[in-house]
Amino acid sequence: QVQLVESGGGSVQGGGSLSLSCAVSGNTASRYCMAWFRQAPGKEREGVAVISLTGRPTYADDVAGRFTISIDNAKNALYLQMNTLKPEDTAVYYCAAGAWCFSPLRSSNYNYWGQGTQVTVSS
């Protein structure tokens, strides 16, 4: 079993930055395909960024170049640095862990989920 707890959400003006954290317990983060998803009101949950078992990052097209995903093995934590935020980035952001990365940006790839943290970007 893996437990995931997100933190770091909040409100920011467009163009600003936020950093999200996901504390991982119960197992080692680097043993999993780790990802960030988000879900806006009335929309489906979508993959934002993934870091594979080999440490390779993958990003959704609309966040590439603005968001950076990383793992700190010493802290057993996953991070998402979000820069140049836009109002359309407003959503609840979720941390997820899966045993493999066959379909990394699809929610069905993941077995474990955090409770989510709200990110609100104003124009």
C-alpha distances out from residue 65 to 20, 57, 60, 75, 118, Å: 17, 12, 10, 25, 22
Largest CA distance in the chain: 40
Give the C-alpha separation, 123 to 118, whole Å. 16
| Contact assessment for residue 121 and residue 85, using Cβ atoms and an 8 Å cutoff | yes
pLDDT in 10s for each residue of the chain, 123 residues: 899 999 999 999 999 999 999 999 999 998 999 999 999 999 999 999 999 999 999 999 999 999 999 999 999 999 999 999 999 999 999 999 999 888 889 999 999 999 999 999 999
Instruction: Supply the pLDDT for residue 109.
Output: 94
Of residues 119, 122, 2, 30, the one with CA closest to residue 67: 119
